[in-house]
Structure 1
Amino acid sequence: MSNTKRPFINLEQAQRIIADVPTPFHIYDEKGIRENARLVNKAFAWNPGFKEYFAVKATPNPYLLKILQEEGCGVDCSSYTELLLSEACGFTGSDIMFSSNETPAEDMKKAYDLQANINLDDLTHVDFLNRVAGIPPVICCRYNPGGVFDLGNGIMDNPGDSKYGMTEDQMAEAYTRLMQLGAKEFGIHAFLASNTVTDDYYPELAGILFRLAVRLKERTGAKIKFINLSGGVGIAYKPGQRQNDIMAIGEGVRRQYEAILTPACMGDVAIYTEMGRFMLGPYGGLVTTAIHQKHIYKEYIGVDACAANLMRPAMYGAYHHITVLGKEEAPADHVYDVVGGLCENNDKFAIDRELPEINTGDVLFIHDTGAHGFSMGYNYNGKLRSAEVLLCEDGTHQLIRRAETPADYFATLDFSPFYKKMGF
């Protein structure tokens, strides 16, 4: 197992892009994205109805959604705006999963109008959906088993503390009520743990949901059309950390399927997934330039990106590996805090990180920002969201989102005389 992480661009490529698109920017690897999507489809090819619904929330960029669409993926949406974005990309009908909670009427009606697969989060949403839009012939309900989720080698998460989903009794009641309102086929959805790095998570979750499906069919007579394993399959953020084997994961789900659903005469149930992090996480990076050094009680490297560009380290203490481009083989004999310019002391991409010597002007590549990177950005301190760049399969690059400008920041403010004077 390698103890290094290699970026998908080198210094020469980065410098060519920087001449066109100043740092900071997020960059995505088209080749890696396509190869990974094909591998996911191969892992679940045993199930004729399989479909990956990419979690739009992870990376809401239409250029990337179109790449995944070309590879046979659908989209998982959770808001009106995500539905609009998906519609603009040509996703309609059963290519859209709509999984939302505390859902506004406008969002629910839009999902209904697009004929999306609607995933109801709560029993009360049955009559709510019927009132604001209507009940489609195919409908899904989200399950929460309560308690803790334990794979036997340690607690993975605590569904009992989660705001999402229904109890089994509520699922049965929802199915019965939905059938009374005209629903013909049903889906089951659940999300029990986040960013798991084990090949056992999906198979274990599948077993829980497959057994639930059998019980619900026996209890209500409902026709189960699909079971959605949602997301939760993680990536190896740290060098040397084991990576998920999606082929082994797919095989583990197949074994559960044949042990539970096939004997119950439910061998026609489709399997869906909603992976965001696994689909795009490793195929994105944040490129930033070292602009300052500070030598006080610690050694600091200040970069032109900040937590507004990538908030996971500041918000969660999450690890993101850093490569100093052009110094991949240099000894990591310096210890730095790599920091941004926000007026917040948690605006740090790395703390006490062993890195090669960094000089002002060096270009840093922050790994694994392809999911929940740009999408979680914000404008605190008046910081502007960065550009997004696609590294195309042929080695060229394409700007797929321009950087924000002060005009964008002020666009929602009505303080006309001053801003007109400033040229905004």
Structure 2
Amino acid sequence: MPMSESFKSRLFPAVEEIAAHFGTPFHLYDEAGIRATGEELKKAFAGIEGYREYYAVKALPNRRILQLMKEMGFGFDCSSIPELILARELGATAEDIMFTSNNTSDEEFAFAAADGGCILNLDDITLIDKVPAPFPDLICFRYNPGPRRTGNLIIGNPVEAKYGISHEQVVEAYRRAQKRGARRFGLHTMVASNERDYTYMVETARMVLSLAETVEDALGIRFEFVNIGGGFGIPYKPEDHGLDLPAMSAEIGALFAAFRAKHGYAPKMYMESGRFMTGPHGVLVTRAINHKDIYRKYVGVDACMSALMRPALYGSYHHIDVIGKEQSPKTEVYDVVGSLCENNDKFAVQRELPKVDEGDLLVIHDTGAHGHAMGFQYNGRLRPMELLLRTDGSVEMIRRAETVEDYFATYNFSPDRFTPAQS
């Protein structure tokens, strides 16, 4: 089931009261669920020496959520200057941060190197010469296997992906990094998104360990770590199976043990789960405010895709409960829609639900990753607040809703008008 029964049991009896206090819509995240998943990951991979999760900040870039990650001992996977700032504000230092960007600018390189630096994960062989001196002692490259790997359903065919260095470039990339002064090395890949077939992740681990052997044979490099990326999937639909984490961790652990037996050492294993860590532990709570009955039946709510664009962007399924009617028969078929001037502003299409009355609260599941983070201000529709359901049962606002003043804030600037000499 998308939302755990534990989360439901703590949220649903209180959600009307929460909505009355804070207003709707809002995203709400479950601290207990997030912590439990973090501990589950740590326990699963405890047999791999040096295992560490680097939380994918892009999934849910909220200071309070990132504080939970830091308390669990996790690092941060960042890909922009604001994400670096968020991590460093929480006290993250050099090797707590994996910085992976593509088409990286000079400004981003300078910021990544500041404040003690970070683990710089280069996406392109041409970036080696663009990294400002002094070149980092520790360097990593993102690997794209191309036709050597069948594409994950969501992330697509690696041959068509803009990310990473090609197989043919790998040895040369590390050779050039050595010439620029790198003495410590990591290897990274990211070839899956929302993958629930655990064997795909096992093969990813096998792939990077094999590539580490190839580079070591060519250049004498001993990798300090390999990063198998993220992409662990979650069951969005009630009938979906979850990721078999025990089987996956056991088989990946065996691969690392075999590597150690063969080479006398094994690299640390890093990963950068985002969706798996927080996705199931977030919901979007919105209130039904309108009905429309034309060629289809529509339920209009007070949120729109500025709060959750995955259904519009990917056609993604997010389960919906109507509070107080969880056990009621699903006698109606609705499109659940927002107020945006876009016809794909829909949270559900032809969804069987109980009869929805105006004023009912709808809980949209699995918005704890790539929900609020992917929001926008098109049509002047603003992003909602974010709340945290604490382990003691209290509810804390961890980001206020955007305001009209926020929308107009970028018009507050000093006049600047320039006439080019050639005009």
TM-score (norm 1): 0.93
Equivalents in 2 of 1:104, 1:332: separation in Å?
Answer: 52
Give the corresponding residue for 2:266: 268
Say whether the 8 Å CA contact 1:309–1:385 is kept in structure 2.
Answer: yes
Structure 1 position 93, deviation (Å): 1.1
Say whether the 8 Å CA contact 2:55–2:75 is kept in structure 1.
Answer: yes
Structure 1 position 4, deviation (Å): 8.5
Tell me how large the CA RMSD over aligned residues is: 1.9
> For 2:241, what is the secondary structure of its paired residue?
coil
Cα distance per residue 1:227-285 (max 9 Å; x no partner): 001111111000020001222221121122223x2244153310000010001000000
Q: Which amino acid aligns with 2:235?
A: A
Give the corresponding residue for 2:384: 386
Cα distance per residue 1:157-210 (max 9 Å; x no partner): 410111111123312111111112221111111111211111112111001111
Say whether the 8 Å CA contact 1:338–1:351 is kept in structure 2.
Answer: yes
Alignment pair present for 1:46 and 2:44:
no
Say whether the 8 Å CA contact 2:48–2:256 is kept in structure 1.
Answer: no
Q: Which amino acid aligns with 2:332?
A: H
Say whether the 8 Å CA contact 1:4–1:240 is kept in structure 2.
Answer: no
Q: How many residues align?
A: 411
TM-score (norm 2): 0.93
Give the corresponding residue for 1:73: 74
Give the corresponding residue for 1:317: 315
Give the corresponding residue for 2:145: 145
> For 2:172, what is the secondary structure of its paired residue?
helix
Give the corresponding residue for 1:369: 367
Structure 1 position 350, deviation (Å): 0.4
Structure 1 position 147, deviation (Å): 1.5
Cα distance per residue 1:357-411 (max 9 Å; x no partner): 1000000000000000000000011011110000000111000000011111111
Give the corresponding residue for 2:14: 13
Give the corresponding residue for 2:161: 162
Give the corresponding residue for 1:175: 174
Say whether the 8 Å CA contact 1:108–1:133 is kept in structure 2.
Answer: no
Structure 1 position 413, deviation (Å): 1.0
* Identity across matched positions, percent: 47
Equivalents in 2 of 1:22, 1:63: separation in Å?
Answer: 20
Q: Structure 1 regions of 5+ residues with no counterpart?
A: 417-424
Equivalents in 2 of 1:121, 1:277: separation in Å?
Answer: 22
Q: 1:116 aligns with which of 92, 108, 118?
A: 118
Cα distance per residue 1:275-310 (max 9 Å; x no partner): 100010000000000000111111100000101100
Change (3 A) 1:3 1:63: closer
Equivalents in 1 of 2:345, 2:306: separation in Å?
Answer: 9
Change (3 A) 1:340 1:148: farther
Q: Structure 2 regions of 5+ residues with no counterpart?
A: 415-423
Say whether the 8 Å CA contact 2:256–2:266 is kept in structure 1.
Answer: no
Matches within 5 A, 1:77-96: 77-96=78-97
Matches within 5 A, 1:163-242: 163-242=162-241
Q: Which amino acid aligns with 1:324?
A: V
> For 1:200, what is the secondary structure of its paired residue?
helix
Structure 1 position 12, deviation (Å): 3.5
> For 1:110, what is the secondary structure of its paired residue?
helix
> For 2:318, what is the secondary structure of its paired residue?
coil
Give the corresponding residue for 1:336: 334
